[in-house]
Structure 1
């Protein structure tokens, strides 16, 4: 059995920190898990009968779940500004024999299409 009081203490402390750095704790899913034993990661665990699940606020509304997998599945992907001009900061450049120079970076805005 896991301690509900300890979990609530951790949620309270973490929520305070999250507020200080500018995030909304209501938009965060707090999930008690044991990575060592795999408890409450993919399936509900019997070690925490007091745990009724997590709730978080998103742009699409309120989302609920119980496991870590549920929380991961509830993450909304960021909106990519694909309608803006291409902006691709270079991270590195490789010279590959037989192929040529290959720039490496991350597309911040815009899109890349083969042959354009």
Structure 2
């Protein structure tokens, strides 16, 4: 449990990094059960900083926020119970961020870059055969854009075809951009 050697905190941090997550917030919960202890907060910051650094995160870019989810302390508004907490600082390539609450830490997350200027890369999640419509591959646009009229090639089968239409959540799109989960109708496949 928690931050112990076989705890979920370590496992989740490793999984997040392995899956490509590069921005992290550490919310140290249940501060009410430690009577708002600054010493316990510092102990957890030291322990967690050590293992997230080994995983590949830079602890200087990770806000550590002491909270009580039960009481709402430091979630949306600054807590009166932890007057020793002077706030968190997050150093990134684009600058420095400061705050005191979990909400401010969430607001300081930098949106990912959406490389729409690169070639189209769209890993397929599934392919549906819909009567009267045809073949509808489904996946998430990682780079580039997809729009009706484009000629696309599926790898590794090396099948080339034209995109007839692009949809997201059953609504027609002019184009799908990085981050969009789309379905697109293709000709003769």
TM-score (ref. length: structure 2): 0.56
64, 67, 85: which is aligned to 1:51?
Answer: 85
**Where in structure 2 are the equivalents of 1:26-41 lying within 5 Å?**
26-41=60-75
1:37 CA displacement: 2.2
Superposed, 1:1-116 pairs within 5 Å as: 1-96=35-130, 100-113=134-147, 116=150
DSSP-derived class of the 1:110 partner: coil
The answer for unaligned runs of 5 or more in structure 1 is: none
Q: What is the root-mean-square deviation of aligned Cα atoms in Å?
A: 1.7
Where structure 2 has 5 or more consecutive residues not aligned to the other structure, the ranges are 1-34, 151-189
Structure ID, larger Rg: 2
Q: How many residues align?
A: 116
DSSP 3-state at the match of 1:11 = helix
